[in-house]
Amino acid sequence: MNSPEPLAVTSNKKGAQVPEPVLYAKREPVFNRRIDGPFRRFKWFIMAVTLAIYYITPWLRWDRGSYAPDQAVLIDLAHRRFYMFGIEIWPHEFYFVAGMLIMAGIGLFLVTSAVGRAWCGYACPQTVWTDLFQHVDRLIDGDRNARFRLYKAPWGPSKIARRLLKWTIYLAISFATGGAWILYFADAPSLFRDFFSGQAAPIAYVTVAILTTTTFVLGGFMREQVCIYMCPWPRIQTAMLDEKSLIVTYKDWRGEPRGSVKKAEKSPDSFGDCIDCGQCVAVCPTGIDIREGPQIGCITCALCIDACDRVMKEVGRPRGLIDYATLDDCKREAAGETPRPVWRSLLHPRTLIYTGVWAAIGLALLFALGTRSRTQITVAPDRNPPYMLLSDGSVRNAYTVKLRNMESRPRDMEIALTGLPNAKMWSDDMPREEAVRAMTRKVPADSTDIVRLYVVAPDGTPAQEFSFAVHSLDEKGETDSTETNFEAPETSE
C-alpha cells in the first residue's frame, strides 16, 4: 500500500496548516480502563439480565399436553408454529408477530425520545458482547496501560501465547452465542444432544458456524466500528434526537477552560471544573472524547459519568460535570437557572405520544389475543368449472374447505350450510345418497382438516350467497363461518 500517512501536514496557498486528505483511516484501537460506579453496576445488571434471558429461555418447559412440544418458547419453522408460553401462533396469525415487531420499533423510538440512545448504551447485543469481550481483554492482558503496552510490544512467544489464549476465549464465547441461537428453533435438550453427537441437521451446524464467526469478528475485533460505520440505528438516532432528548453531555460552561488542580490552585477563577485528567476518554468503550460534544460514536453508556464523578469527588468538586441532560436543560443551566429534575425531561409530548401509540398497539394485540377463536373455517370455491349440471337436472358446486383446529387436542367439529334452502352437501369420501345439511368431522390436534365438499341444489336454484358455519363440539363451543357463492346457470324462466 502506497497511501500517505494519516495527518501528513502540508500548506495551502494561504499558508494555513491543512492536513493532507487521507482516503482511508486505520482503526484506532480502544483500551478502555476499568471503572466502577452506579452506571457501570447498572450495565452489569443489564448484561446479566439480557444474557440470562438469552441462554435460559430455550430451556424453559411448558406443558401443552401430548400433541404439542413442551418448549416454552419455540419457533417451529418446520411445522409453521410459533410457541410462546401459553400462546401458540399459526402462520395466518402472523399479524401478532408483525404487531410485536411494530411495538419493538416504536418502543425504540419511545426509548430514544425519553432517554436518548439507551438501547445503544445498555441493551444492544453489539454493546453487551463488546463489553463482554473487553472484560476478557482485561482478564487476559490487564487494564488499559498493560493492554496498550502489549499492543505496542513486538510479537514474541509471550504475546503470541496471550493472543492465542484470548482468541480462544473469544471463540468459546462466540460459539456459545451462536450455539444458543439454534435452540430457539427446535427442542432444546434433544437438539443439544444431537448437535454434539453429530446428529443434528446440517443447517444447525451452518447457522452456528455463521453466528460464531460474526460474533467473533464483530464482538472481538470490529466493536465500535459496527456502531460508527455499519449500524443504521445511530444514523436514525441522529435524526430522532432533539434538544429535549436526554443525552450524555459534558457541561462545557462549567468545565472550560480546563486546567489541572495545581494550575487552578495557582490562579483560581481562571479555570473551570474540568481538570483535564482524561479519565472520561480512558473509560470510553468506543474511544471518543465526550468533551467534543454529542457525536455518533457516543453510545451513551454513561461510563464517562462514573469516571468523572469519581474524579470530581476526589478533587472535592460537585458531581455531574459530565451527566445525563437535555440540550435545553444545558442552555438553562448555562444561563444560571436552576436545573430541572431529570424526570421532567421524560414527560415531554413526543414521549407521551409514543407511549400512547405503543400502548394502544399493545392493548389491541392483547385484546385480539384474548378474543381469538381456536376454530376456523376457510373456503375456496372451485372456479373451473364454476358449477356443474347433474343428470337429474340439479346444480352442483364444489368447495375446498379448510377446518383449522388450533387447540392441542383432537376435536369434533360440525360444518353446516347456512342459507341456500333445499341444498345438501356431501364430502368426496362419502356417497351422494348420504348428503346432509350438517356433518361432523374429526379434526386431529393442532392441524387443518382439508375436505372437498359438494353442495347440490335442485334445478332452478338461482346463484346466491350462502355460508359455511362451523362449531366445535366441545365445552368451548367455538364458532366461525365464512361466506361464499353458489353459482348456477342463468335461468330464463
Contacts with another protein by CB under 8 A lie at 6, 16, 18-19, 21-27, 222, 225, 229, 382-385, 388-393, 396, 398, 428, 431-432, 454, 459
- Apex CA 97: angle with CA 94 and CA 100, to 5°? 150
**Of 8 and 139, which has the nearer Cβ to another protein?**
8
Compute the CA torsion angle 309, 312, 316, 321 (nearest 10 deg): -90
C-alpha 297: how far from its chain's center?
21
CB of 352 to another protein, least distance (A): 32
**Of 21 and 349, which has the nearer Cβ to another protein?**
21
**Of 412 and 459, which has the nearer Cβ to another protein?**
459
CB of 27 to another protein, least distance (A): 6
Q: Check: CB of residue 255 under 8 Å from CB of residue 335.
A: no
CB of 336 to another protein, least distance (A): 26
Q: Which residues contact 103 (CB under 8 A, 6 or more apart)?
A: 358, 361, 362, 365
H or E segment at 114?
A: helix 95-115
Closest of 373, 393, 403, 372 to residue 468, by C-alpha: 403
Closest of 28, 27, 34 to residue 282, by C-alpha: 34
- Which ranges in 297-341 belong to alpha helices (H)? 303-314, 327-334
**Of 154 and 431, which has the nearer Cβ to another protein?**
431
**Of 26 and 262, which has the nearer Cβ to another protein?**
26
C-alpha 121: how far from its chain's center?
15
Residue with cell 502506497: 2
**Of 23 and 78, which has the nearer Cβ to another protein?**
23
**Of 23 and 239, which has the nearer Cβ to another protein?**
23
CB of 484 to another protein, least distance (A): 17
CB of 224 to another protein, least distance (A): 11
Compute the CA torsion angle 323, 326, 330, 333 (nearest 10 deg): -90
**Of 176 and 327, which has the nearer Cβ to another protein?**
327
CB of 457 to another protein, least distance (A): 14
CB of 376 to another protein, least distance (A): 24
CA distance 147 to 30: 9
CB of 252 to another protein, least distance (A): 13
Q: Is 148 exposed, middle or buried (0-12, 13-18, 19+ CB in 10 A)?
A: middle
Q: Check: CB of residue 326 under 8 Å from CB of residue 343.
A: no
**Of 57 and 225, which has the nearer Cβ to another protein?**
225
Closest of 21, 293, 410, 8 to residue 304, by C-alpha: 293
Q: Is 189 exposed, middle or buried (0-12, 13-18, 19+ CB in 10 A)?
A: middle
**Of 99 and 386, which has the nearer Cβ to another protein?**
386
**Of 225 and 260, which has the nearer Cβ to another protein?**
225
Strands (E), 394-446: 395-405, 411-418, 424-427, 438-443
CB of 417 to another protein, least distance (A): 17
CA distance 126 to 267: 45
CB of 355 to another protein, least distance (A): 33
CA distance 276 to 278: 5
CB of 415 to another protein, least distance (A): 18
Closest of 252, 256, 255, 245 to residue 324, by C-alpha: 245
CB of 209 to another protein, least distance (A): 18
CB of 100 to another protein, least distance (A): 34
**Of 161 and 380, which has the nearer Cβ to another protein?**
380
Q: Check: CB of residue 423 under 8 Å from CB of residue 466.
A: yes
CA distance 106 to 356: 10
**Count of C-beta atoms within a 10 Å radius of residue 200:** 19
**Of 21 and 86, which has the nearer Cβ to another protein?**
21
